[in-house]
Amino acid sequence: MDCGRYAIKRVLGEQVVVQAVVFAEGHDRVFARLLYRQAGQEGWQRAAMEAMGNDRWEGSFVVEALGYYEYTVEGWVDRFGTWQEALEKKYDAGQAVGVELTMGAALLGEAAARVGGEAAKELAQWAEALVGTKDENEAVAAALSEEVGAWMREHADEEAMTRYGRRLRVWVDRALAGFSTWYELFPRSCGRGAGKHGTLQDVAAELERVAQMGFDVLYLPPIHPIGRTNRKGRNNVVKAGAEDPGSPWAIGGPEGGHKAIHPALGTVEDFRELVKRTRGYGLEVAMDLAFQCTPDHPYVQEHPEWFRWRPDGTVQYAENPPKKYEDILPINFETEDWRALWEELKSVVVYWLGQGVRIFRVDNPHTKPFAFWEWLIEEVRREHPEVMFLAEAFTRPTVMAMLAKVGFTQSYTYFTWRNTAYELRQYMEELTGTGLAEYFRPNFWPNTPDILPQYLQYGGRAAFVVRLVLAGTLSSNYGIYGPAFERCEDRAVEGKEEYLDSDKYEIKDWSAGERPDISAVVERVNRARRENAALQRTNNVVFCECENEMLLAYCKVTEDLSNIVMVVVNLDSHHRQVGWMRTPLEHLALEAHQPYLAQDVLSGDRYLWQGEWNYVELDPATMPAHVMVLRRRLRREMDFDYFM
């Protein structure tokens, strides 16, 4: 991680496996051990490291508290072990070892002098066993005993050790950071009546439905007052009608800014009540953090120095030339007054922490300084290590990686545009098989209010199921923007990946219309995730060979091999696809000669499979995917109760 500049990430209870190359000149034996501790603690905890061959050593520790851990590695020349080895070889070759035994006793004597106390007495006894007997066989046996070797390694001379020059760090999050299921919802569209502005109380009424589907994070787009000046109308037209509510991301009006709640949504008491009720359903509210202002935001009057002003006396609005976003003013992070600005933005986060929020979805973090995020996240987590930040950055790979390095807990990804088997394998390999796996936690979104991908526009209901299953089983963190997703909303602005009649610019009534509803499939996927620990990690994915490139097959397995999930997805949402696929028996510790049961948790079907190659057939008209739990040992009284 850039020579130790940044921390890797783990969640509570996870293991940190550390490898180090440890060597010395010459032929002496070396030893290595891992030192680790919670940051701020005195002294180190030690873990043995094991030689892997070619001077590579490996050790591990488990993180058991939130916050930072640090670790490093120590190596030393194992003089006593080297001496033991030489003694044994000489003795076996029938050479005289009298002088050797004297030298070993001297090594023990030095150790005794170093450690003192009771241990010194024990060492003196060992030394005596080497030189105090006339029976050389007996002396050699004592000298070579595993006990004395282990003792000498355990109490190796600290002064003779070489410690790696850096203390590397691990940031430890709570479990939700590694396994979370997000549902995004526009509060104002929860009113359940054409044009009726929903309230936070209406959101509360949705909780049962959302919980029923199996989500644990309820992410709300900004709930703040919306500006009037240059407000955008339906479908992003430049002039809003009198009734148009504007984009929730156009934050700030006379009613207040980032610490205020849109009056039509309710009060801060309503919000606190919602946070509380959400927790009652096993969910948490995720708040949107969009650091930008409308021209009506109080900051513009109070802190004109936080914005850019043009030579014509107007304030600079956001733009991506020739596109203009006249309703939004970017904050000028290069202001001379940046310290006050940073503190104020931190106070926004602190305010919502006070209202019970512990998760923030950060809008466009890549357009604000990395240094700001690193500072803000560090500041917040010092008191609240349980807080999570999701980076909504769809930008270049280096920038997305950098945001994860500076502290974001989870990140949006390119999954949204990875459709083919090749692309998905490649991308998963990048996320799980490179350094990214240590610090970049992907959160897969098949759709967002900003993105209705082409795959969903042209694939019908099956396409939604395909993307749902992929997101929910490839990544342990995923989310959908609903009800657009589970109601299979596929109407886009012509030629674009934007929703037609988007939630972003109007109040939607999702109860109306006759769209399909895949809520039941969502529920089954989320239930499979909850019930199968193998799906609660991302980095354990293993792709399976498949003769048909339209079928993507992969498995996930827990470290103890007790839970195996095999997923097969027909990526072709239009046609039935069939093919033979290979189960990596060796990886799953399955035996070629024993049948195993594949229980599909989506359809309830059960297949008796055997050996490596098995036949699969998936019809998008019914169900384009298998999510199968593999049962290793088929007992006589078969475990049929999985779906009963």
What are the residue numbers of the active site?
363, 392
Nearest residue to 289 via CA among 373, 401, 174 = 373
Q: Does 336 bind its own copies (CB under 8 A)?
A: no
d(CA 106, CA 112): 10
* Cβ proximity to its own copies, 313 vs 513, nearer residue: 313
Q: For residues 410-424, b (16+ Cβ closer than 10 Å) or e, as one string?
A: bbbbebbebbebeeb
Closest distance to its own copies from the beta carbon of 532 (Å): 36
Are 49 and 32 in contact by the 8 Å Cβ rule? The answer is: yes
Binding its own copies by CB under 8 A: which of 320, 339, 593, 635? Answer: 320
Q: Does 135 bind its own copies (CB under 8 A)?
A: no
Cα-trace Rg, the chain: 31
Binding its own copies by CB under 8 A: which of 312, 514, 560, 586? Answer: 312
Q: Does 85 bind its own copies (CB under 8 A)?
A: yes
Q: Does 397 bind its own copies (CB under 8 A)?
A: yes
* Residues in the chain, total: 644
Q: Does 426 bind its own copies (CB under 8 A)?
A: no
What's 643's DSSP letter?
Answer: G
* Cβ proximity to its own copies, 111 vs 274, nearer residue: 111
Binding its own copies by CB under 8 A: which of 137, 239, 301, 310? Answer: 310
Binding its own copies by CB under 8 A: which of 10, 262, 368, 524? Answer: 368
Which range binds its own copies by CB under 8 A, 83-91, 273-281, 285-293, 412-420?
A: 83-91
Nearest residue to 642 via CA among 615, 602, 611 = 602
Structure tokens at 236: 């992003």
Q: At what angle do helices 268-280 and 200-212 cross, to 10 degrees?
A: 10
Phi and psi, residue 576, nearest 5°: -65, 135
Closest distance to its own copies from the beta carbon of 323 (Å): 9
Closest distance to its own copies from the beta carbon of 23 (Å): 5
Footprint of its own copies on 31-60 (CB under 8 A): 54-55
Which range binds its own copies by CB under 8 A, 23-31, 120-128, 193-201, 534-542?
A: 23-31
Q: Does 396 bind its own copies (CB under 8 A)?
A: yes
Closest distance to its own copies from the beta carbon of 25 (Å): 5
* Cβ proximity to its own copies, 62 vs 371, nearer residue: 371
Which range binds its own copies by CB under 8 A, 66-74, 273-281, 313-321, 564-572?
A: 313-321
d(CA 234, CA 232): 7
DSSP per residue, 517-529 = --HHHHHHHHHHH
Q: Does 494 bind its own copies (CB under 8 A)?
A: no
Binding its own copies by CB under 8 A: which of 67, 256, 356, 369? Answer: 369
Nearest residue to 587 via CA among 549, 552, 541 = 541
Distance of CA 426 to the CA centre of its chain: 18
Closest distance to its own copies from the beta carbon of 326 (Å): 12
Footprint of its own copies on 400-419 (CB under 8 A): 402
Closest distance to its own copies from the beta carbon of 463 (Å): 29
* Cβ proximity to its own copies, 334 vs 514, nearer residue: 334
Binding its own copies by CB under 8 A: which of 15, 41, 45, 95? Answer: 95
Are 507 and 513 in contact by the 8 Å Cβ rule? The answer is: no
Q: Does 149 bind its own copies (CB under 8 A)?
A: no
Q: Does 513 bind its own copies (CB under 8 A)?
A: no
d(CA 608, CA 175): 35
Q: Does 89 bind its own copies (CB under 8 A)?
A: yes
Q: Does 370 bind its own copies (CB under 8 A)?
A: yes
Are 189 and 506 in contact by the 8 Å Cβ rule? The answer is: no
Q: Does 201 bind its own copies (CB under 8 A)?
A: no
How many residues bind its own copies, per CB under 8 A?
38
d(CA 545, CA 111): 57
Footprint of its own copies on 100-129 (CB under 8 A): 102-103, 106
- SS3 of 55-102: the string is CEEEEEEECCCCEEEEEEEEEEECHHHHHHHHHHHHHHCCCCCHHHHH
Which range binds its own copies by CB under 8 A, 22-30, 44-52, 456-464, 520-528?
A: 22-30
Alpha helices in 170-291 (DSSP H): 200-212, 268-280
Q: Please count the other Cβ atoms lying within 10 Å of the Cβ belonging to residue 373.
A: 21
Q: Does 99 bind its own copies (CB under 8 A)?
A: yes
Nearest residue to 254 via CA among 226, 213, 283 = 226
Q: Please count the other Cβ atoms lying within 10 Å of the Cβ belonging to residue 154.
A: 11
Distance of CA 420 to the CA centre of its chain: 23
Binding stretches for its own copies (CB under 8 A): 3, 21, 23, 25-27, 54-55, 85-86, 89-90, 92-93, 95, 98-99, 102-103, 106, 310-312, 314, 319-322, 366-370, 396-399, 402
